[in-house]
Every structure is written in C-alpha cells, then in structure tokens.
Structure 1
Amino acid sequence: MEPRVTFYSRQGCHLCDEARLVLETVVGDDYTEIDIDSDEALRERFTDEVPVTFVDGRQHDFWRVSEERLRAALALSPE
C-alpha cells in the first residue's frame, strides 16, 4: 500500500526541515518525499510554496505543516 502523504520539498529549505519533523512525528517514515528540483514541471508548480504536503492525492498544506490538521486529515478514510 502506498503512503497517504506525499511531501514535496527541496534541498536547503529550512521550512522543509521543520515540516519533515512534523511528518515523522505523525506518520514516521510512511510518506513519499519528492524533491521538486528533480523535475522541471514540479519546480515551476511549487517553487514558491515548498514545502507542500498532499494527503490522499489532494493538496493539504504548504509552507508549514500543522500536526493537528495532518492528524485530522489522516483520521478520515481515504476516498
């Protein structure tokens, strides 16, 4: 089963480091991380919003990840 959380990040991003800590607290290592700089389309789409989290394929947060909001989103059944 694929992780429910996808995390778009980039190297050298302090907000990404902070968001990663929240993700690890909530889901451990059960998330997919994608470096937006590895793909031109992702870099164009998210360059000003990283970090960006998706839950069940839908954009959930950007810049900051709220532990409470993430827990609430994950408590819902995936569609």
Structure 2
Amino acid sequence: MAPSIFKRYKLHFTRPLPGLRPGRPERDAMVDRVRRLASENGMAGDLHTIAPNAGFGILEVRCTERLARRLSDLSEIETVQEA
C-alpha cells in the first residue's frame, strides 16, 4: 500500500481570537479560517479532515505538507506540529 499524502498535524491557535467567546463559536471560527485559507489559495484538495481537539485552541487536521507550511504563515496560528 502506498503511503498517504495526508499527514496529521496539530494547529495551536493564539488565544483568544478577537471578538469571540471561548468554546464552540471560537472553534467554528478557527475551522472556517483554515477552510477559507485552503480554498482561497487553491489548496482545497490538500485538506482532508479537520477535527477539534479536547484542548482549548487546538485543531487536528489531516493535510499535505504544502498546506501545513502555508498554515504556519497565518497570524492566528502559533505552531503547526506533526502529530
């Protein structure tokens, strides 16, 4: 079986995101920001899944290395770690 091009990454967001309450509204805004970045840059196919983590301000994503490098350029994201 060939290795998958998608790898798991943990995205650590800065907190708090301006203008949002902690919890579900903030998590939904983080997910929207990741999806928007992928679609605006023509990398929607590089994003496989997004799953909220139990930790506050953390998203787990399955994506390509190219998109992970691009996500680290966002000001809202502190770190991108391979999981």
Q: Is the TM-score greater than 0.5?
A: no
Superposition TM-score, scaled by structure 1 size: 0.37
More helix by share: 1
Higher relative contact order (CA 8 A, sep 6+): 2
More strand by share: 2
Q: Which has the larger radius of gyration?
A: 2
